Structure 1
Amino acid sequence: MAKERRGKGGGTTYYDPAKDKWVAELKWVDELTGKTVKLRKYAATRKDAEELLADMVAQKARGLLSSPSRLTVRDFALEYLARKEREGVRPNTLRLLRHELGYALPSLNDPGAHDPLGRMPLQKVAPAHIRGVVDGLVGRYAPRTVRKVVAHLRALFREGVHLELVARNPVEAVRVRFPNEEKAARALEPHEVARLLEAAEASRSKDMALLLRLILATGLRRGEALALQWRDIDLDRGEVRVWRAWARVGDKGAFTSPKTPTARRVVPLPIDLLRHLRARKEELLEKLSPEEVEETFLFGGSRPLEPNSFNHYLRRLAEKAGLGRVRVHDLRHTWATLALARGVPLEVVSERLGHASPNITLGIYRHLLEEERRGWVLNLSELLGSPKTNPQA
């Protein structure tokens, strides 16, 4: 049967006796290569082929129909990682990104690994393929890890959509749910914080106890606290300058740039923490000159503590205090939760945490703020009365 043509750019439909199928065929010239691109789709009936062709023409008009490509998911992921490196993503963040993507694309870290998704053409990936990979991860890894892998895949294919390599993001249709999933972070109650500090004061390590108190009192990230030298602490003004972080990169510790531009910040120190810092500095001045003390790290001496050492210390301390599992990030989460619960403005909490914007903070603590807002029901007489003086945050 002859092909039925619809004019330039309209495509054709015809019957292919060799395949016993109707064919919807669309041709166009690739703007980058100048080559003619031919795309065929098959259908059981002429009507279905007409509908396929109409859909192809509509997608092409909206710029959603990409030229056929042999680019695999693995190759595109390698390009994506290289681009992230050129954009200045921190080495440790880049290492984690590659490692976590590697759960879904094993050939990223081992070229010879079995990797069905990684070896698929990027344009052939459908939601069912992503669903299959994710289902294979559930049960093998923690819910938080699986969610991270899905987020990385979503970002990877989103980049493909932006570059018009694929027409849609197949990860968007995939949802991951864990009925008994552990909360991402735990906020300690005030009495639990007191028990943790009491156990720390009884421990042998003064550095670890001070580090615990610092994170609980300021909400600093572990890496930010470990990177501090005494020259970053102004005991007279009562503030600390945060400008870098100490992290594990591969098998070594290394200084990294702040996680976000706003992570470079000056954080005020509460009075009780200043008292502990002054006492610790006075102890050091009995052994070292003032110049030497300024170059000494708060936690570790001539070089920062190994990043994972505090994790082990906190685990043992929490068990001793009868608190179960407490993670380092829980300390930062605790500070933010307690601050917001006591009326510290969201913008102040966001600034102290070094979040990129208050919207990030709001997204994490929205549930807490909604609970607090329900409590703000005032009589007209209270609204018209003299405002209360709030303590400085």
Structure 2
Amino acid sequence: MGIIAYKKKLNAGVEKVFYMVVVEAINKYTGKRHQKKRRGIQSKPKAETVYRELWSACREERPDGLGFTHWGPLLDSYLEQLHLKVRSNENPNGYSPQVVKSKKSRLAYVRHWDTIHLDLLTPQFVNNKLDEMELKGLSRSMTFHILKEIKCVFTYAVHTGCLKHNLFSGIKMRKVPKKRKEALTHEEVDLLLGEAQRRGHNYYYIWLLTVTLGLRRSELAGLKWLDIDFEQGLIYLRRQLIPKEGIVLFLKDKEERVVAIPNYIVPVFKELKLKSKSEFVIDVDCSRWKDGHQARVLREFCQEIGIKEITHHQLRATHITLALIDGVPLGIVKENVGHAKLSTTDEYFRSAGINMKGQTDGLKINVPQNKEGKVISMNKAR
């Protein structure tokens, strides 16, 4: 493979050097190896240019199109290949079944477009239809995700050669109002944990470890005793335990993570280990926990004891918010909870108003003070 020089006899027995270029590359659309050749190139610089052109052609050449002209067949083909990418033992890096289920449920809203020609599905047409859905009561968050899935379908159409260009590649996504990150206060956490311990609630240790360590539900469920280093005060997260899927041997971001254990939690772990009869730290005999319906348990308990009703994931948000309020550096919190970007953690910082507290105290406005004296009726003053 590469540039090969060879001699060729011309008229009158004169020999001239020519170059042949042979290139192989993996096509980015099919994943298969493509080969291209060209002979008769008269100079080496020209052969080097041809080499680059052929290599790019092998990589970028689109396969023959699937021939879809309408939305319905294209969507069916997309969903079919989506099912082939579901995470399994043979494909551990695939989509989780829940992600595939969510994608299907969002695309179900545009299933009635089956007979519409692809040329008519312009960004303007799609946005107008999504506006109509919102007028009928669909949330902006849902139309945002529907548009995101439509964009994925058109990307698939381009990669399979069905379309030459993706009109949705540069589309401006629908703006979704950001919600405040809901979290409990220190006082509410004290009440939650205190009442859970007093009542011997099944979820006491689950809530305690979530709010002190900031683990996701799947990470806490997959935590084993062998993952905990009591001497170093560290937890090595290596796996998830996902309802209806079982053990997944990597975390959400496909990497292992180290989490620091607060000193005051180490005795709790040791106490829990003495009681444990399982290799897993959390071994709760509760169908809601095993089925992934733990949010309902927490909401009901919060309502019962009279504090803000939150979900299990918002208990993780509580960990992040309170850690920032108590002065734990932003970067440490980000690493501890496994956020991919610092900006994600910073949203909790801003949502809690930590950077705003006391910032306007320097504004000097003289507020009139009440003076003792005779009270004058405003009616008489008029």
TM-score (norm 1): 0.61
Aligned partner of 1:153 in structure 2 is 150
Q: Does 1:258 align with 2:268?
A: no
Alignment CA distance shift 1:323-1:304 (3 Å): closer
CA distance in 2, matches of 1:75, 1:100: 14
The equivalent residue for 2:205 is 210
Could you say what secondary structure the match of 1:241 adopts? Answer: strand
% identical aligned pairs = 22
What is the aligned residue count? 288
The corresponding residue for 1:125 is 121
Structure 1 partner of 2:94: 89
Q: Alignment partner for residue 267 of structure 2, among 264, 272, 275?
A: 275
1:221 is aligned to 2:233: no
Offset of 1:131 from its aligned partner?
Answer: 3.0
Q: How far does residue 199 in structure 1 lie from its aligned partner after superposition?
A: 2.3
User: 1:135-155: CA deviations, max 9, x gaps?
Assistant: 465455555444433333344
Return the letter of the residue paired with 2:263. I
Cα distance between partner residues in 1 of 2:296 and 2:267:
26
**Do 2:222 and 2:240's aligned partners in 1 also have CA atoms closer than 8 Å?**
yes
The answer to whether the 8 Å contact 1:76/1:122 transfers is: no
Match of 1:355 among 339, 343, 364: 339
1:197 matched to 2:193: yes
Say whether the 8 Å CA contact 2:103–2:149 is kept in structure 1: no
1:274 to 1:165, Cα distance in 2 relative to 1, 3 A: farther
Structure 1 100/243 Cα, relative in aligned 2: closer, same or farther at 3 Å?
farther
After superposition, what is the alpha-carbon deviation per residue over 1:312-371, rounded to whole angstroms, capped at 9, x for unaligned?
A: 321221112212421111111111122223333332222111122334434x34635985
1:1-393 residue pairs with structure 2 within 5 A?
70-71=68-69, 72=71, 73-75=74-76, 77-78=78-79, 81-82=82-83, 84-85=85-86, 88-105=93-110, 115-135=111-131, 137-138=133-134, 144-158=141-155, 160=157, 165-169=164-168, 172-173=171-172, 175=174, 183=179, 185-206=181-202, 208-248=203-243, 252-256=244-248, 257-262=250-255, 264-284=256-276, 293=277, 295-300=279-284, 305-362=289-346, 364-365=347-348, 367-368=350-351, 372=355
Superposed CA deviations along residues 159-210 of structure 1, whole A, max 9, x for unmatched, are 55677643411893563557xx8x374122222222221222133334x110
Q: Distance in 2 between matches of 1:253 and 1:184?
A: 31
Letter in 2 for 1:77: Y
Q: Secondary structure at the match of 1:116?
A: helix
Kept in 2, the 8 Å contact 1:346–1:361? The answer is: yes
State the alpha-carbon separation in 1 of the partners of residues 358 and 213 from structure 2. Answer: 26
Which residue in the other structure is 1:25 paired with? none
Distance change (3 Å), C-alpha of 1:273 and 1:134: farther
Seen in structure 2, the aligned counterparts of structure 1 residues 279 and 76 have a Cα distance that, compared at 3 Å, is same
Higher mean C-alpha deviation, range 141-150 or range 365-374: 365-374
Residue segments in structure 1 that go unaligned for 5+ positions in a row? 1-66, 106-114, 285-292, 378-393
Supply the AA of the counterpart residue of 2:186: P
Cα deviation 1:364-391 (Å, max 9, x = unaligned): 34635985288799xxxxxxxxxxxxxx
Equivalent-residue separation in structure 2 for 1:141 and 1:210 (angstroms): 38
SS in 2 for 1:246: strand
Kept in 1, the 8 Å contact 2:78–2:156? The answer is no
- Paired with 1:365 and 1:283, the residues of 2 have a C-alpha distance of 36
Using the TM superposition, give the Cα deviation of residue 267 of structure 1 relative to its aligned residue in structure 2, in angstroms.
0.8
Cα deviation for residue 217 of structure 1 reads 0.7
Distance in 1 separating the partners of 2:354 and 2:159: 39
Is contact 1:201-1:209 (8 Å) kept?
yes
Distance 2:84 2:165 in 1: 18
Q: Which residue does the alignment assign to 1:32? A: none
TM-score by length of 2: 0.62
- C-alpha distance in structure 2 between counterparts of 1:360 and 1:276, whole Å: 30
Task: Tell me, yes or no, if the aligned pair for 1:243 and 1:258 is still in contact at 8 Å.
Answer: yes
Q: What's the Cα RMSD here?
A: 3.9
2: distance between equivalents of 1:68 and 1:305?
45
Q: Which consecutive unaligned segments of at least 5 residues does structure 2 have?
A: 1-64, 361-382
How many angstroms apart in 2 are the aligned matches of 1:160 and 1:376?
52
What's 1:10 paired with? Answer: none
